[in-house]
Each structure stands twice: as structure tokens, then as C-alpha cells.
């Protein structure tokens, strides 16, 4: 159990908390616990940072509940005084968050997330096909440890461009089993070949099997997904090189 923060740690924590809160659109509650002292803070050394919040909204994206914990880090000394932690070197962090089905829908259809999803490049019968997701995307959390996704994609083929409607069901990974692509269904009448369907399913399974993902300044992996009807609790581990400005 962590000890009570000293007065100097409380001072630094409140400064960071104020700076973080100023970058959020809204939050029911945000709490920051920085373990350091004023001398080390001025030198840019922090033993750990813990952030917790409820009802956090940033750039229109909502997280019902969140906890973030880092290990020892070095930061830009001036950034602490202005309540914004900027890293001088990569930081290891662990996070837990709870999102509802509607939270995930808004996130997946936001420019912030869509811009981070690269097109898929497939080889189908020796020809190159590029698959790009197209909003709107719809998440389904029926429970039973399943995650469903319905949406559309644009296919760029040698013969031209066309749209594809699809429905995917994923079984998240557990400690003793990798993530599985349970089903992939195309919208009736789209005329997808068996070769294309197999190539796409293989590519999706490759993505599910990746040990980690890289997104704008950090590498992370999903450690655990606890899926309930209508909501999901996500645990992640990350190595963060930088944190993008939430106001950009």
C-alpha cells in the first residue's frame, strides 16, 4: 500500500492535475499522484505518476473509468511547473479503462482514431488489393467474451474501386489462448471471391497475433479484455516516447 504523499509531493501533484484537467473537455473526477520532491522535480526526476479519473472526455472521446500508472521517469523540469508532463526518455506505463459500447463507437468513428488505422495491403491471386475502413463503424458487445464490429471498407483493386460491407466477431486473447477471429461475413451481393476472403481473414488474424501495436509515439499491447454486455474493461501496457498535445 502506497504511503501518504508528502506536502511537496502534493504540491507537484496538484500542479500536474490542474494542467491535465485544463486539457480535458470534461471530467467528473481526475486525481494525480506524483511521487517525487521539489528538488528532484526541478531536476526532472519523478519516481512515479499515477492518474485516475471518471467520466473523462477529451476531444469528444469518453472513458467511463481510467487508471494509469508509470514507473520511474525523467521529464522536462519546466513542464512539471506548468502541470504538463513531457518525457525526456521513454516511459513504461500500465493502464486500465472501462468503456461502453457507445464510447467505443464514438472513438472508432473519430478522426483521432481513424487517422491511426492504416489501410490493409493484400495479395489476392497475385494481384494487389488495398482495403481501407470507412465510417461509420458499429461496435457490438453482446457479452459471452465476444466483440463484434460492423462497417464498410473501400477496396482498391486493379479493376477499380468498390465498397464492401462486413461484420466481424472477435474473441479476445486470454492468458492461455491467443485472440481469435471467430467469423467474418461480407454483405450479401458484394461478390467477394473465396481467395479475397481468405487473404483478408489471414491479414486480420495476423493483426490480432501482433505482440504489440505502435501508435503515434508509443508501443502498446492489450494485456486483458474483460467483455460484458454493453461494456468492456481494458488493461494495457505501453512504452511511451511522447504524449501528443490533447488540444492539437
CATH (domain of 181): 3.10.450
Whether 132 and 95 share a structural domain: no
Does residue 43 belong to any structural domain of this protein?
yes
List of residues 6+ apart from 116 with CB closer than 8 A:
215, 216
Is the pLDDT assigned to residue 247 strictly greater than 60? no
Does residue 112 belong to any structural domain of this protein?
no
Whether 80 and 148 share a structural domain: no
Q: Report the alpha-carbon distance of residue 96 to residue 220 in Å, rounded.
A: 13
Q: Report the alpha-carbon distance of residue 92 to residue 141 in Å, rounded.
A: 30
Band (103; pLDDT cuts 50, 70, 90): very high
Does residue 192 belong to any structural domain of this protein?
yes
Does residue 2 belong to any structural domain of this protein?
no
Please state the pTM of the whole predicted model: 0.77
Indicate the DSSP class of residue 174: B
Worst-scoring range by mean pLDDT, 70-74, 81-85, 228-232? 81-85
Is the pLDDT assigned to residue 213 strictly greater than 80? no
Tens digit of pLDDT for each residue in 5-44? 777 777 777 877 777 777 677 888 888 888 887 777 777 7
Is the separation of the CB atoms in 99 and 107 below 8 Å?
yes
Whether 191 and 174 share a structural domain: yes
Q: Which of 16-30, 64-78, 109-123, 178-192 has the highest mean pLDDT?
A: 109-123
Whether 49 and 79 share a structural domain: yes
Q: Please say whether the dihedral angle defined by the alpha carbons of residues 71, 54, 25 and 106, taken in this order, is positive or negative.
A: positive
For residues 208 and 100, the model is more confident at: 100
β strands within the chain, DSSP E: 29-35, 45-46, 48-58, 61-70, 73-74, 91-100, 120-124, 127-143, 146-157, 160-171, 180-186, 213-215, 218-228, 231-240
At 44 the pLDDT is 73
Range of the domain at 61: 7-99+216-240
DSSP 72-141: SEEB-HHHHHTT---BSS-EEEEEEEEEEHHHHHHHHTSHHHHTT-PPEEEEETTEEEEEEEEEEEEEEE
Does residue 145 belong to any structural domain of this protein?
yes
Whether 13 and 33 share a structural domain: yes
Whether 11 and 64 share a structural domain: yes
Is the pLDDT assigned to residue 94 strictly greater than 90? yes
- CA angle, corner 222, sides to 104 and 185, nearest 5? 55
Whether 85 and 129 share a structural domain: no
Does residue 108 belong to any structural domain of this protein?
no
Which burial class, exposed, middle or buried, applies to 170 when counting CB atoms under 10 A from its CB (0-12, 13-18, 19+)?
buried
Tens digit of pLDDT for each residue in 113-167? 888 788 999 999 999 999 999 999 999 999 999 999 999 999 999 989 999 999 9
Whether 184 and 121 share a structural domain: yes
Does residue 247 belong to any structural domain of this protein?
no
Does residue 56 belong to any structural domain of this protein?
yes
Q: Which of 17-21, 57-61, 146-150, 175-179 has the highest mean pLDDT?
A: 146-150
For residues 176 and 79, the model is more confident at: 176
Whether 198 and 145 share a structural domain: yes
For residues 85 and 50, the model is more confident at: 50
Q: Report the alpha-carbon distance of residue 149 to residue 137 in Å, rounded.
A: 7
Whether 95 and 66 share a structural domain: yes
Q: What is the b/e burial string over 195-218, where b = at least 16 CB atoms within 10 angstroms of the residue's CB? A: ebeebbeebbeeeeeeeeeeeeeb
At 246 the pLDDT is 43
Is the pLDDT assigned to residue 82 strictly greater than 80? no
For residues 96 and 89, the model is more confident at: 96
Whether 57 and 121 share a structural domain: no
Q: Report the alpha-carbon distance of residue 199 to residue 204 in Å, rounded.
A: 9
> What's the total number of domains in the chain?
2
In the numeric block, which cell numbers belong to residue 180? 481469435
Whether 95 and 12 share a structural domain: yes
Strand, helix or coil for residue 20 = helix
At 129 the pLDDT is 93
Amino acid at each position: 500500500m502506497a504511503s501518504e504523499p508528502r506536502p511537496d509531493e502534493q504540491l507537484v501533484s496538484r500542479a500536474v492535475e490542474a494542467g491535465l484537467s485544463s486539457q480535458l473537455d470534461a471530467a467528473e473526477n481526475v486525481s494525480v499522484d506524483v511521487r517525487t520532491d521539489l528538488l528532484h522535480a526541478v531536476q526532472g526526476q519523478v519516481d512515479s505518476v499515477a492518474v485516475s479519473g471518471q467520466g473523462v472526455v477529451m476531444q469528444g472521446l469518453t472513458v467511463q473509468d481510467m487508471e494509469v500508472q508509470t514507473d520511474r521517469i525523467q521529464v522536462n523540469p519546466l513542464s512539471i511547473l506548468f502541470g504538463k508532463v513531457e518525457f525526456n526518455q521513454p516511459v513504461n506505463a500500465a493502464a486500465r479503462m472501462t468503456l461502453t459500447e457507445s464510447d467505443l463507437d464514438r472513438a472508432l468513428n473519430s478522426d483521432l482514431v481513424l487517422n491511426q488505422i492504416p489501410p490493409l495491403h493484400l495479395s489476392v491471386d497475385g494481384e494487389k488489393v488495398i482495403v481501407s475502413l470507412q465510417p461509420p463503424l458499429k461496435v457490438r458487445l453482446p457479452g459471452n467474451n465476444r466483440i463484434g464490429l460492423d462497417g464498410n471498407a473501400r477496396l482498391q483493386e486493379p479493376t477499380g474501386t468498390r465498397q464492401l460491407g462486413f461484420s466481424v466477431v472477435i474473441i479476445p486473447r486470454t492468458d492461455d489462448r491467443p485472440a481469435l477471429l471467430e467469423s467474418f461475413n461480407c454483405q450479401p451481393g458484394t461478390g467477394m471471391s473465396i481467395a479475397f476472403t481468405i487473404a483478408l481473414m489471414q491479414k486480420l488474424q495476423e493483426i490480432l497475433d501482433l505482440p504489440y501495436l505502435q501508435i503515434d509515439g508509443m508501443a502498446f499491447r492489450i494485456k486483458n479484455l474483460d467483455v460484458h454486455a454493453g461494456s468492456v474493461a481494458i488493461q494495457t501496457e505501453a512504452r511511451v516516447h511522447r504524449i501528443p498535445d490533447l488540444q492539437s
